[in-house]
Amino acid sequence: MFDAPTPGDTMVQTDTKISARNVQVYYGDTHAIKDVNVDIEAKSVTAFIGPSGCGKSTFLRCINRMNDTIDVCRVEGDILLDGEDIYDKKVDPVQLRAKVGMVFQKPNPFPKSIYDNVAYGPRIHGLAKSKADLDEIVEKSLRRGAIWDEVKDRLQAPGTGLSGGQQQRLCIARAVATEPEVLLMDEPCSALDPIATAQVEELIDELRNQYSVVIVTHSMQQAARVSQKTAFFHLGNLVEYGDTSQIFTNPKDERTESYITGRIG
Amino acid sequence: MSDASMPTATPHGSIHEQDARTKRRNAAESRFKAYGIIAIGIGLLMLLALVYTILSKGVGAFQQSFITMQVELLESKLDKTGERDIEKIKKVTTFGYAPLIKTAFEKTTAENGIETALKSKDMAKMLSKSAAAQLRDYVIANPEKIGETIEFRFLANSRIDGYLKGRVTRDSIANDKNVTPAQLDFADQLIAAGVLKKTFNIDFIIGADASDQRPEAAGMGVAMMGSLFMMLVVLALALPIGVAASIYLEEFAPKNWITDIIEVNISNLAAVPSIVFGILGLAVFINYMHLPQSAPLVGGLVLTLMTLPTIIISTRASLKSVPPSIRDAALGVGASKMQSVFHHVLPLAAPGILTGTIIGLAQALGETAPLLLIGMIGFIASNMPETIGEGLLSPNSAMPAQIYEWAKRADPAFYERAWGGIIILLIFLISMNTLAVILRRRFERRW
């Protein structure tokens, strides 16, 4: 059933940020994620690929406990962030989410100004001591989101007035403003045109210097372009996990091979 | 996808000719449109008829007939000692003022060269019974004016007023003991002399209700204050309770059978007849808690119960309409559930909540039935409340209750006032609904 190499046994990881052990997710009676084990490296980009409904987004949302907001969703197994179980009773999901930021499929800026969009996270976490501090955080985040030059003259304009690609980069800037350690991206480019996609991909590549990025994507080309590690999900199973170059050139599992060559999907 | 399963293409006729099926479809569509236009047309006709009836019957209430005369405030009648001692002046009852008015009326008649066989007693009967009281109130308020001659504008009684408005005619008074043809002749002479005139009557809007005998003096003002205080109670209670309950139910409560039951019952409550809330208010607030009867506070509490379901339902609907991506965005940057609701969801839902609240208030403003049971109806002789506490606790009526009260009194002059009251009530309701629409347009965000 599960024949991917067990991470930790065959692969030597010196710097593991997140490790999942025997994770099961149920939506009511549906068994959505089946026994997933994976180690995600710090300061690298890990891509989750797989056909629709394979559970990759579900698994991603487990990492910052966004699934808590769904009543019927139940998670079993352990997910360790820096060796600490994030599903421990002592963990407050709010505190966890400050550490594990998230960017969603559809750009979802708050219907507020660009400045307020970015400043919201730092404000509620008390990261800025003064207005000047906050201004600095906002600028730094917008620069990291690679959107500063486009919006620096209109920080008070509504964030919803930007184009789709700009909105998504604004959302990335908003996510990095709280200084997370891990950045989860759920198909961040699926609503964007090719040019905006290229900009966001470039940005993801830069973000790798500071964050562990986990990205869910439908596009195999995108996974090949931006990630160092790739995990292939199929029907709730983690079929294969390994270096991106290896997955795309020399997959070990025939399901992976079928998928990347376009025979299943 | 085998080729054998494809149906062989049937040749269609010319598209310049409608086939029978298309004709039938188009005819059905035209028929449906016609039904719609007829239905709307009937509705509009009804509305026009309603507005026309209300206006034609009610506008008269905003005008009233007044008789102007110079009254000499005789010291010998009003303040025999000449000390201007307010306590002694107050001892002179309205009966003491009646002769002054009679004399003044006679003098006015003479000055205008009107000849009449009418006795001064019958002349004075053409004035409202409130005339003497009006004079007395003036003297008590301005004792220093005693001895002077002051111009007064007295209300004509309801029959004379009705004569000016065309409601009372020489034929219609055949069996009426309150007015004689001679008085109407005299009224004609007074009109010609410019003494008797029909003018705008602000007292109908700001004044208090009057007893059965004086329809010409009755006004809506105090009932309006009653309604205002009730609405304050409703707003102060129903808005926070309703919004808090909806936020909890919509955003925080687990979805299980208990919340399902609560949800169904809130919808049921919205459909409960208002008189049931009235009897609940009577049982709980008055009989059990011993709050004062006829008080706007109790009325407000009852109407709060009635308005709550409306507010909860509309608030939940507007919370639901906020896209979940906004909640995700807030949670994603590490906001707590409460922060995401109060910082992001609530501001976006606010226009909907406001609209729902205003419509709930407008419903409550027009509600009569529950007020019947808590005694906010009937002739409640009260003056304008002077403090907020008095406004909440002293007996009062409300606009729709006042209208009902007038409509059931015998004198046709009250009937006219009921229609006038309906105009005022409708103006309030229309302004509130307009405000709701404006607020929604103004603050609605699109994304």
Question: Which of B327, B331, B334 shows the shortest C-beta gap to A125?
Answer: B334
**Whole-angstrom distance, CA of residue B422 vs CA of residue B243:** 31
pLDDT of res. A11:
45
Is A110's CB within 8 Å of B335's CB? no
**Whole-angstrom distance, CA of residue B192 vs CA of residue A2:** 109
**Whole-angstrom distance, CA of residue B314 vs CA of residue B238:** 13
Cβ pair B166, B198 in contact under 8 A: no
pLDDT of res. B445:
62
The encoded tokens of residue B302 equal: 């009852």
- Residue to mutate among B251, B255, B333, with most A CBs inside 10 A, is B333
Is A160's CB within 8 Å of B447's CB? yes
Cα of A62 vs its chain's centroid, Å:
11
- Residue to mutate among A120, A160, A162, A168, with most B CBs inside 10 A, is A120
| Residue A106 in contact with partner chain B when CB distance is under 8 A | yes
Question: Which of A71, A94, A171 shows the shortest C-beta gap to B336?
Answer: A94
pLDDT higher than threshold 50 for residue A1:
no
B residues 242-301 lying closer than 8 A (beta carbon) to A? 254-255
How much is the average pLDDT of B252-268? 91
CA distance A130 to chain B (A): 20
Is B334's CB within 8 Å of A124's CB? yes
How much is the average pLDDT of B4-8? 54
B residues 329-348 lying closer than 8 A (beta carbon) to A? 329-336, 339, 343-344, 348
Q: Which residues of B touch A101 (CB under 8 A)?
A: 332-334
CA distance A215 to chain B (A): 15
pLDDT in tens, B18-30: 888 999 999 999 9
CA distance A124 to chain B (A): 7
Query: Count of alpha carbons within 13 Å of B280, Cβ hemisphere only?
Result: 13
Cβ pair B219, B204 in contact under 8 A: yes
Q: What is the set of domains in chain A, with CATH numbers?
A: 16-260 (3.40.50.300)
Identity at B299, one-letter amino acid code = G
Q: Which residues of B touch A124 (CB under 8 A)?
A: 333-335, 339, 343
Q: Which residues of B touch A113 (CB under 8 A)?
A: none
pLDDT of res. A71:
80
How much is the average pLDDT of A38-67? 90
pLDDT grade for A14, boundaries at 50, 70 and 90: low
More confident residue, B6 or B39: B39
pLDDT in tens, B168-207: 888 888 888 888 888 998 999 999 888 899 999 998 998 8
Is B334's CB within 8 Å of A111's CB? no
pLDDT higher than threshold 90 for residue B429:
yes
Q: Which residues of A touch B447 (CB under 8 A)?
A: 111, 160
Cα angle value A9/A59/B331 (rounded, 5°): 130
Q: With left for phi above 0 and alpha for psi between -120 and 50, is residue A249 left, alpha or beta?
A: alpha
Is A175's CB within 8 Å of B331's CB? no
Is B331's CB within 8 Å of A97's CB? yes
pLDDT grade for A265, boundaries at 50, 70 and 90: low
pLDDT grade for B91, boundaries at 50, 70 and 90: confident
- B291 DSSP assignment: P
pLDDT in tens, A149-196: 999 999 999 999 998 889 999 999 999 999 899 999 999 988 888 888
Q: Give me the CATH topology for the region B221-443.
A: MetI-like fold (1.10.3720)
pLDDT of res. A264:
66
0.95 exceeded by pTM: no
| Residue A161 in contact with partner chain B when CB distance is under 8 A | no
**Whole-angstrom distance, CA of residue A71 vs CA of residue B199:** 69
pLDDT higher than threshold 90 for residue B279:
yes
Q: Which residues of B touch A160 (CB under 8 A)?
A: 447
Reported in sequence order, the residue ranges of B174-288 that DSSP labels E, i.e. its strands, are 196-200
**Whole-angstrom distance, CA of residue B228 vs CA of residue A161:** 42
Is B333's CB within 8 Å of A121's CB? yes
Which residues, in sequence order, are CB contacts of B59 under 8 Å at separation 6+?
B420, B423
Q: Domain residue spans in chain B?
A: 63-201, 221-443
Is B329's CB within 8 Å of A174's CB? yes
Q: Which residues of B touch A66 (CB under 8 A)?
A: 328, 331-332
pLDDT higher than threshold 60 for residue B446:
no
pLDDT of res. A3:
47
